A and B are shown apart, each in its own frame.
Chain A
Amino acid sequence: DIVMTQSPDSLAVSLGERATINCKSSQSVLYSSNSKNYLAWYQLKPGQPPKLLIYWASTRESGVPDRFSGSGSGTDFTLTVSSLQAEDAAIYYCQQYYGRPITFGQGTRLEIK
């Protein structure tokens, strides 16, 4: 199984500041035949279903604010929230869909400082 490890486990960021969450996979999730990274990011708030933010490591889902961005390739990925808003407080998960089983990171709790 591909193990996904996120860092940090939690972080507190002031409103308007940048938040950065890292995700590392135990093996590459870059598929050489199409040069795509099989990596997605989700936002989870209490009482709500997970919300897809990013897929193919850097493609923003329709309707997701452009302050959310994804980057990275191979085994190392980053989710950045460029200017934190109050509604961004949540737990964020990375997911690899390169191998079976599909696996998620352990989650990163983002709080407002």
Chain B
Amino acid sequence: QLVESGGGLVQPGGSLRLSCAASGFTFSDYSLNWVRQAPGKGLEWISYISTIGTIYYADSVKGRFTISRDNAKNSLSLQMDSLRDEDTAVYYCARGAYGDYFSNWFGPWGQGTLVIVSS
């Protein structure tokens, strides 16, 4: 129901745009999140966008990453700029709450896309 794409190898300081295609539910009715998992590490929430465009970021990516959604295309995006080595991770999109509500569990999740930041 959620399929990420756009991962790959990028040099430090570079940019990458991730996409998440949704199906099987009314996309515009749900808030969405990006979560990442660095190699050998745990899960880290990084960004949220609600049904009405409310946006939050984790401090670790604020000012460098931009989340957006296109309800007409059932698509979620994450523009990642000024990438650092520590941004290397598998990036997941995950559905949140029905409506404009941040405090919610995540499900379902996409299968993830790997981003490697390295020179």
Tell me the B80-119 residues at the A interface (CB within 8 Å). 92, 94, 102-112
In whole angstroms, what is the CA distance A51 to B105 when docked?
11
Is the CB–CB distance between B109 and A95 below 8 Å?
no
Q: Is A48 part of the binding interface, using a Cβ–Cβ cutoff of 8 Å?
A: yes
Which residue from chain B places its CB closest to the CB of A62 in the assembled complex? B107
Is the CB–CB distance between B56 and A52 below 8 Å?
no
15 residue pairs bridging A and B, Cβ less than 8 Å apart: A40-B105, A50-B92, A52-B105, A52-B109, A55-B105, A95-B43, A95-B105, A95-B106, A97-B102, A97-B104, A101-B56, A101-B59, A102-B45, A104-B43, A107-B42
Report B-chain residues with C-beta under 8 Å of the C-beta of A113: none
Residue from B58, B103, B109 having most chain A Cβ neighbours under 10 A: B103
Selected from B33, B43, B102, the residue in CB contact (under 8 A) with A93 is: B43
CB B38 to nearest CB in A, in angstroms, measures 12
CB A69 to nearest CB in B, in angstroms, measures 16
Which residue from chain B places its CB closest to the CB of A41 in the assembled complex? B105
The size class of the interface chain A forms with chain B is 20 to 34
List B residues at the A interface (Cβ < 8 Å).
Answer: 33, 35, 42-45, 56, 58-59, 92, 94, 102-112
Is the CB–CB distance between A98 and B111 below 8 Å?
no
0 or 1 for each of A55-85: is its CB under 8 Å from B? (1 = yes): 1000001000000000000000000000000
CB B89 to nearest CB in A, in angstroms, measures 13
Report A-chain residues with C-beta under 8 Å of the C-beta of B94: 50
Interface of A is mostly: loop
In whole angstroms, what is the CA distance A107 to B104 when docked?
19
Is the CB–CB distance between A101 and B106 below 8 Å?
no
In whole angstroms, what is the CA distance A93 to B94 when docked?
15
In whole angstroms, what is the CA distance A45 to B106 when docked?
16
Residue from A95, A102, A104, A107 having most chain B Cβ neighbours under 10 A: A102
Which residue from chain A places its CB closest to the CB of B111 in the assembled complex? A49
In whole angstroms, what is the CA distance A88 to B102 when docked?
30
In whole angstroms, what is the CA distance A45 to B50 when docked?
28
Report A-chain residues with C-beta under 8 Å of the C-beta of B104: 97
Which residue from chain A places its CB closest to the CB of B35 in the assembled complex? A50
